[in-house]
Chain A
Amino acid sequence: MTRIALTVNGSRCEADVEPRQLLAYFLRDQQGLKGTNVGCDTTSCGACTVLVDGESVKSCTVFAVQADGCEVTTVEGLAQGGELHPVQQAFHEQHALQCGYCTPGFVMATISLLLENPDPSEAEIRDGLEGNLCRCTGYHNIVKAVQAAARAGA
């Protein structure tokens, strides 16, 4: 076991982990943060996307020990005081989901995209979300939601 100390959604946490423990399972099983979904386990689908030090990563492809000392944000860390994060609000209003399984990953990837490019074109949004797969909606409303979130200054 290796001792790690990190910040998850603003709270400091310390834990003993096996080095082979992947960040996605650390968050789900040890921290109880089930909003981070594991879809493919092959770095393909992006459902497990979280932010590490403000940048999107696929948490099925990062060992928990690599996040030692880092700041991790999951979908549970977005809403403040009962208010949805502007990107969550935009996904809600634009109906950018059907089954919802991919949604936490899309929301986290969108936040990272808008941090790097606050006013993306439609092509830049589609490229910027290339690492996330949705098998229900066909992406149209997801792109609309990202555009709405960008307009709202997310």
Chain B
Amino acid sequence: MIPAAFEYERAGSVDEAVALLGRDEDAKLLAGGHSLIPAMRLRFSRPSLLVDIGRLDDLRYVRESRDRIAIGALTRHAQLVRDPLLREHCPLIGEAAALIGDPQVRHRGTIGGSVAHGDPASDLGTILLTLDAELVARGLQGERTIPAAAFFTGPFDNALEHQEILTEIRVPKAAGTYLKYVRRAHDWATVGVAAARVDGRVHVGLTSMGPTPLRARNVEDALADGASPADAAARAADDTDPPADASASAEYRTHLAQVLVRRALERL
């Protein structure tokens, strides 16, 4: 399975990549390539120009920035798993990254590429939404910050402009946990559930329960009103739109979300 032909440019800086994207309305960014290349091989995706940002090593970092942790968009999953700052201040990220694909995938895949790809079955999008992360993007008009709640606009879509590049992700220091149910090794989540304590409130996020990552707002409100984990978890599938596919029916996902939310809350 060979991808359709495309032009290839390797960008030496973010600004150069922004400019290169302007050359072609069907251009796409190549980071780690572990969502894009499989899609191109199946010809689901046929960009006419690939702008390779995979060598922009200055976008690979994890650092403390006041009360938050800043993660460079090209930080690979394997780095997220072993990073000591994340382990100490935001263990949810490494815990979820360790469940993505397999070691070979984690050596190449990046946090920015993963969330910009916008697969509703991917794990890190749910984590960022649950943490109320901020996504920093650079484009023709300079830099702007997009709240995670505004970033995920639809399946395989996001709030970035065509000539805009995700450069950094900022997350709060928070305790949390991520539970992912899969039927086979290195599969996407049938359902995933994130739970975290952010600024004294419990946040709950869901993977594979709709066209984008979702927050289980009714669960959060019930907990804030003093409900038990089991009672709050009964609301896990409220306002969701779970898909039915080869892995599971919508009814099964509804059931699974409630079970996993209860377990995540009990672990938190």
A residues with CB within 8 A of B? 2, 18-20, 22, 25, 41-44, 46, 49, 55-58, 60-63, 65-66, 68, 109, 112-113, 128, 130-132
Q: A19-B8, A65-B52, A66-B52 are in contact. Are A57 and B33 (CB under 8 A)?
A: no
B2 touches A63 (CB 8 A): no
Q: What is the CB-to-nearest-CB distance from B156 to chain A, in angstroms, rounded to a whole number?
A: 17
The 4 closest A-B pairs by CB, nearest first: A131-B102, A19-B8, A55-B107, A130-B102
A-B pair number, CB within 8 angstroms = 81
CB proximity of A113 to chain B, nearest CB, Å: 7
Chain A residues, Cβ within 8 Å of B102: 46, 130-132
Interface membership of chain B positions 1-19, coded 1 if the CB is closer than 8 angstroms to chain A and 0 otherwise: 1111111101000000000
Pick from B4, B6, B50, B103: contact of A131, CB below 8 A: B103
Q: Is the CB of A130 within 8 A of B41?
A: no
Instruction: Determine how close the nearest CB of chain A comes to the CB of B44; give it in whole angstroms.
Output: 12
Check: B246 CB closer than 8 A to any chain A CB.
no
Chain B nearest CB: distance from A142 CB in Å?
14
Residues of A within 8 A of B104 (CB): 46, 49, 56-58, 109, 131
Query: Which bucket holds chain B's interface residue count?
Result: 20 to 34
Q: Least Cβ distance of B189 to chain A in Å?
A: 15
Q: Check A42–B38 contact: CB distance below 8 A.
A: yes
Q: Are B108 and A61 in contact (CB under 8 A)?
A: yes
Contacts of B3 in A (CB 8 A): 20
A130 touching B8 in the complex, CB below 8 Å, given contacts A43-B105, A46-B104, A62-B108: no
Residue of A nearest to B102 (CB): A131
Chain B residues positioned under 8 Å from A2 (CB to CB): 8
Given contacts A19-B8, A22-B2, A130-B186, contact A61 B107 (CB under 8 A): no
* Chain B contacts for A58, CB-based, 8 A: 104-105
Assess whether B41 is in contact with A42, with CB atoms less than 8 Å apart: yes
Residues of A within 8 A of B54 (CB): 66
User: What 0/1 readout, one digit per residue, does chain B (30-44) give for beta carbons within 8 Å of chain A?
Assistant: 100110011011100
Asked if A20 meets B5 with Cβ closer than 8 Å, knowing A44-B186, A61-B34, A130-B185, the reply is yes
Q: Which residue in chain A gives the minimum CB-CB distance to B109?
A: A61
Residue of B nearest to A44 (CB): B186
